[in-house]
Amino acid sequence: MALKEKIYKIKRRELSAERNIRDFLKKIQDDNIRINAVLHINPDAVEQARIVDEKIKNGCAGKLAGIGFIVKSNINVKGLICNCASRTLENYRATYDASVIKKLLKEDAIVLGMANMDEFAAGGSGESSAFGITKNPAAIDRIAGGSSSGSAASVAAGFCDFALGSDTGGSIRNPASHCGVIGLKPSYGAVSRYGLIDLSMSLDVIGPLANSVEDCELIFDIIKGKDERDAVSMEWIANNDSTNHQVVIGIPEIGANKEKASSFSYENEEIWELVKQKVKLVANKNKWKIEECRLKHLDLGIQTYYPINYVEFFSGTRKFDGRKYGYKIEDSCGEEVLRRILGGREISKAEFAGKYYRRALKAKKIIEKEFEEAFEKYEVLAMPTVPRLPHKFGEQISIEDMYNYDTLTVLANLAEIPGISVPCGKINGIPVGLQILAKKGADNFLLEVAKRFE
Ligand code: GLN
């Protein structure tokens, strides 16, 4: 059922908030053992739903009255365990609400629980959680993707009305693609990061995962906007961009950068074919135009992303020294987190900073500019969200291949632009996501376009 429809039903008291929440809790209780998407249940959810039912009776309930959501475990929800799926913060109970949580609670949405994820959001498969792998409800022997693995799997498994994730290099869009749900990565700064435990603060953004684009839009419109607690958050200027004209869609030309160094290329023909077919279908139906476009620096994304990620992550984790929060991170974290801390420490050294970090920042500017120019010609760009299918559990994957899962998603973070993944079909029964990108600040326009792809 569409979120709007459910909200209407709850408001008219055809469905109580308590019933809605109890149904989800029951579903989680029955199925989470198989999926491992949820790490902690909110023990007060039913009580909170009763209070919302009272408010509905008194005619003073908010816009999301009685709607249940699941939160990635790196977003602070007061009183709940917010451990980033790490032993380091195993017992850390949040002492305050992140700004996004405040906004959603103000509208009387109800937190159902905290989601599994890759440890500290540093991953793309959901396998690096200290509390076990998240299974993919849409392809049960395969990874759910990551790092917002539990958020995407929760939506796919019917554990909630929507979920929150964070996206630094693809962590909302990647698992959305693998699990066959919708995931929106807003423009950098469109949503406050206050209360998000950061992976890489100049790239991180919080966004919704849901069953439809319209549901994502509803949540995005509530969580977006300026927050005095996040200096880079943007004042939201309502734009009147509409899709009532001929939209020009750019599709990056592939085959232009054939000699890829990595063992898997982002040019999986089957996935691209599926995506192109879908774009053609939508364009024809709406009388939109498709043009091939050349993105020269498509293959620069990963090399640019990781130095920035490592350095900022290293710096951000210095607070986890075992004194104020949890355990000392180096003594308690998993392999990937340690790799980034040690790597980040190394390339933060004065003698290397110029060579790697500052160079990466320069490359980021080049990518930003290339996208700015592209959006003068095309209003949106379309491509696969992930250029390969999710691997099976236990399959040995090199670090390079793991990083390359995000070849096509890191670009939006580097360019600070909004991106969305919508389901586009299946290959061998496994969901494939189509990614659409728009210029910075055009998030609502992007959502309008994405609706035509459903
Ligand atoms: N997979 C990417 C990484 O490991 C992206 C993570 C994210 O977006 N949080 O850094």
- Verify whether ligand 1 is closer than 6 Å to residue 186 (CB atom): no
Q: Whose CA is nearest to atom 1 of ligand 1?
A: 124
Assess contact for 21 and 110: CB atoms under 8 A: yes
Q: State in Å: Cα 148 to ligand 1 middle.
A: 9
Nearest residue to 124 via CA among 176, 159, 191 = 176
Identify the pLDDT of residue 264.
54
The pLDDT value given to residue 350: 81
| 182 CB-near residues (< 8 Å, 6+ apart) | 176, 209, 210, 211, 212, 213, 215, 216, 420, 421, 422, 423, 450
Task: Kindly tell me if the per-residue pLDDT of 297 is higher than 90.
Answer: no
99-103, 238-242, 376-380: least confidently modelled range: 238-242
Q: Which residue has the tokens 């076990």?
A: 132
What pLDDT is recorded for position 342? 97
Please, is 397 exposed, middle or buried when counting C-beta atoms within 10 Å of its C-beta (0-12, 13-18, 19+)? middle
Residue 405 alpha carbon, nearest atom of ligand 1: 1
CATH code: domain 248-301+357-453 is 3.90.1300.10
SS3 of 297-350: the string is CHHHHHHHHHHHHHHHHHHHHHHCECCCCCCEHHHHCCHHHHHHHHHHHHHHCH
What's the pLDDT band for 298 if we cut at 50, 70, 90?
confident
Domain ranges of the chain: 3-223, 248-301+357-453
Percent of the chain topping pLDDT 90 = 90
Q: What is the number of the ligand 1 atom nearest to the C-alpha of 413?
A: 8
Structure confidence at residue 351 (pLDDT): 82
Q: Is 187 in the pocket of ligand 1 (CB under 6 A)?
A: no
Q: Among all residues, which ones are annotated catalytic?
A: 72, 147, 171
Mean of the pLDDT values across residues 186-215? 98
Q: How distant, in Å, are the alpha carbons of 25, 211, 243, 291 from that of 388?
A: 33, 22, 30, 23
Task: Give the whole-angstrom CA distance, residue 230 versus residue 226.
Answer: 8
Is residue 262 very low, low, confident or very high in pLDDT (cuts 50, 70, 90)?
very low
> Among 3.20.20.480, 3.20.19.10, 3.90.1300.10, 3.20.20.70, what is the CATH number of 3-223?
3.90.1300.10
Residue 258 has pLDDT above 60, yes or no: no
Average pLDDT (25-29) is 98
Residue 167 near ligand 1, beta carbon < 6 Å = yes
Average pLDDT over the chain reads 95
The finding on whether 123 has its CB within 6 A of some atom of ligand 1 is yes
For the stretch 394-432, pLDDT in tens is: 899 999 999 999 999 999 999 999 999 999 999 999 999
- Judged against a pLDDT cut of 50, whether residue 261 lies above it is answered with no
- Our mutation pick for probing the ligand 1 site, out of 74, 116, 171, counting the most ligand atoms within 8 A of Cβ, is 171
pLDDT (tens digit, 9 = 90+) per residue, 85-143? Answer: 999 999 999 999 999 999 999 999 999 999 999 999 999 999 999 999 999 999 999 99
Query: Which ligand 1 atom sits nearest the alpha carbon of residue 121?
Result: 9
Spatial CB neighbours of 33, under 8 Å, sequence gap ≥ 6? none
**Of the candidates 247, 273, 254, the residue with the CA atom closest to the CA atom of residue 375:** 247
Average pLDDT over residues 49-65: 98
CB 299 within 8 A of CB 258: no
Q: Interior CA angle at 118 toward 216 and 45, to 5°?
A: 55
More confidently predicted of 297 and 319: 319
Q: Is 431 in the pocket of ligand 1 (CB under 6 A)?
A: no
Condensed to tens digits (0 to 9), the pLDDT of residues 273-295 reads 999 999 999 999 999 999 999 88
Q: Do domains 3-223 and 248-301+357-453 have the same CATH topology?
A: yes
80 contact partners, CB below 8 Å, separation of at least 6 = 40, 42, 71, 93, 94, 111, 113, 114
Would the CB of 168 count as within 6 Å of ligand 1? yes
Residue 304 alpha carbon to ligand 1 centre in Å:
13
Per DSSP, 372 falls in state: H
